[in-house]
A and B are shown apart, each in its own frame.
Chain A
Amino acid sequence: MTDSTMTQTRPHTGVLAYLVVAGVVILLMMLLGLLMRLDQATALDLGLAGFYRVMTAHGAGMVGIMALGGAAVMWHFLSRHVQLSGAILFINLLLFLLGAVMVLGSVFIGGYAGAWTFLYPLPAQAAGAWSPHAAAVFTGGLLAIGTGFLLLHLDTARAIIQRYGSLPRALGWPQLFGGDSSEPPPAAVVASTMVLIVNILGITAGAAILVMTLVNLYVPTFDIDPLLAKNLIYFFGHVFINATIYMAVIGVYEILPVYTKRPWKVNRVFLAAWTASTIMVIIVYPHHLLMDFAMPTWMLAMGQIISYTSGLPVLVVTAYGALLLVHRSGMQWNTAASLLFLSVFGWAAGVGPAIIDAVIPVNTVMHNTLWVPGHFHFYLLLGVAAMVLGFMYHLRSANRQEGLLDRVAFWAYMIGALGFVMSFLYSGNLSVPRRYADHAPQWVAYDQIASAFAILVVAAMAVFLLRFLTGLRARAAR
């Protein structure tokens, strides 16, 4: 077992700040999500404008905050191996907060409701619902958040290259391809390298379309090809949201071994999986465009095939490795270990509905139904969020006792999240469209069931956050 898995490094203040912000914002965004489901369930009335504004804030907020939570996990464990900049860590947080204020201001003051995907030319053609200025503030907010993460990944690139010489070396290519028998880089370094490669590309593409959108808002004669815009947006969006899970999973590689007292070995299969994932995350995004028949057919076929192959490293390396580590390990379970184990299940099980949706004949009758939020909530709620929460509990549990409340919260979260995502998937099976403020009467019962499960999730999240914050206060008091 490596030293890094045995010792509990005191977390950097910046990492704790990220986690506090992540905990608070995740809870707030969950509340917004709950409001949407309650509105669809006819339990309350947000009004049409209110629903679509909440939807826009919920989408943008969740994508951003999952990235922040994942970055906290990555930074904490990567900083054990390379010299990262604490200043950049804080600058990213400040830019995130600035961006979040801009996004919330544009939505709840400016009335912007163009969805987090800001599909061109919707931001500029609001049918009178919001002004170009509101759309510009939203776009600027996303740019600020993207710029912060770009700086963070450039810093991880600098630090990794300084320590390992090059990105291929940090991905373990000499050990994978060159017959080098020396110890490969640790999992945190391999994963962080993959993430910086894909996210620098993704954020750059995102920045390009955001700037083009900004220009178009004030110079309407500056036309953008809508298909090019869609490609840039979905490339950016897909890569950025996927990177959250590839950052957060570092917590699984680093923390599960602490509880199982077994090492997570970085071997050639692990290195091959991460190199393959680097390429696949970049080229799989056309699966978001399967209903854009104007796209080159080969790209759409590639989207389907790579969606399937992308699931293989998740199942054969990460899920298989976690199961192997836990099996008959004499493990002592606590909330951190339970959340991390749940997160691997969430990622692995979520592969199924995701792959199925990317099969073109299925996508024809599933695209933009509630099946889609079903599959990505599987990844986010039961995967990324559980990883970040597991990390938070791991930091907290080092010197705090756990009790019945923690166990109840864990079960409530697991049952609530599973019920919630399955309600989405079942509604997708019934062809219920996504992003609809009003649902047909025959769909409302499923919205009500989903709302009940969502309440469980929100309550559990409130407990998790409270326990983390009280843990921090106790730490500060010592």
Chain B
Amino acid sequence: MEQTLAWYLSLLFIGLVAAVFLWVRLHSRETAEFAPIRDRAYRLRPHLFWALVVVGIPVMVVTLMMTPYESAQGLPDDTLHVDVQGQQFAWTLSETGARAGQTVVFNVTSADVNHGFGIYDADMRLVAQTQAMPGYSNRLVHVFEKPGSYRILCLEYCGMAHHVMEARFEITEAR
């Protein structure tokens, strides 16, 4: 969902900017006195600036409440904890799967270099990720909504066989 939104928002923004540039380009051969154009544009500029600020503030507030940096508090009793270790060029997971709807906490680390713990659904859409770093444990909390066979890919370049570093995580039907 986030990917689709990002794609269409980007298309809209790029299209809007392109339309403005195209319009100015098409009128560039016409001649008009600069001072009135400049004065009008300078009067309009603060409005554009404040419009961008007014749009930006609620977007920032709302999205900063949706971060994946979950706290250890308030997790359900049936939360499944999974220890994950990346190592050139394989993943080791302490559990092989979970139930749909169950909260899963992945404690992700690395035994050698930086890796990226990326979870892909059956349609090969990325649903969540965190970095796997030597000496650190990154805690990713995720609820799998749909049953299926999820693939774990490496999303941080880790050497020559980076792209074959893969594991499976099976999600069964909710009870």
Residues in chain A near residue B3, CB distance under 8 A: 362, 365-366, 428-431
User: Is there an interface contact between B17 and A345, defined as CB atoms closer than 8 Å?
Assistant: yes
Any A CB within 8 A of the CB of B147: no
A230 CB–B CB distance under 8 Å:
yes
In the complex, are the beta carbons of B60 and A308 less than 8 A apart?
yes
Instruction: Find chain A residues with CB under 8 A from B161 CB.
Output: 48, 127
Stretch at the interface among B73-81, B92-100, B127-135, B167-175: B127-135
The smallest C-beta distance from B131 to any residue of chain A, in angstroms, reads 5
How many angstroms between the C-alpha atoms of A331 and B13 in the bound complex?
27
Residue B9 lies at the interface, judged by CB distance under 8 Å to chain A: yes
Indicate whether A308 sits within 8 Å of B25 (C-beta atoms), given known contacts A349-B14, A362-B2, A440-B124: no
Q: A294-B133, A294-B136 are in contact. Are A371 and B89 (CB under 8 A)?
A: no
Given A361-B66, A369-B126 in contact, is the A127-B52 Cβ separation under 8 Å?
no
Q: Does A367 contact B (CB under 8 A)?
A: yes
Which of A351, A353, A426 has its CB near the most chain B CB atoms (within 10 A)? A353
**Max count, chain B CB within 10 A of own CB: residue among A115, A226, A369:** A226
Residue numbers in B under 8 Å from A119 (CB-CB): 113-114, 156-157
Q: Which residues of A contact B157 (CB under 8 A)?
A: 52, 115, 117, 119, 122, 435
Supposing A121-B113, A331-B28, A367-B155 touch, asked if A425 and B13 sit within 8 A by C-beta, the answer is no
Do B48 and A320 touch (CB < 8 A)? yes
Residues in B lying within 8 Å of A, measured CB to CB: 2-7, 9-10, 13-14, 17-18, 20-21, 24-25, 27-32, 34, 37-38, 41, 45, 48-49, 52-53, 56, 59-60, 63-64, 66-69, 88-89, 112-114, 116, 118, 120, 124-131, 133-140, 153, 155-164
16 extra interface residue pairs, beta carbon distance < 8 Å, beyond A366-B126, A431-B124, A431-B125: A305-B60, A308-B56, A316-B49, A323-B20, A327-B24, A327-B27, A328-B31, A341-B21, A349-B14, A351-B13, A353-B14, A356-B9, A361-B67, A362-B3, A366-B6, A437-B162
Give me the 8 closest cross-chain CB pairs, A-B, nearest first. A352-B13, A330-B31, A431-B126, A328-B32, A429-B7, A293-B138, A368-B155, A436-B163
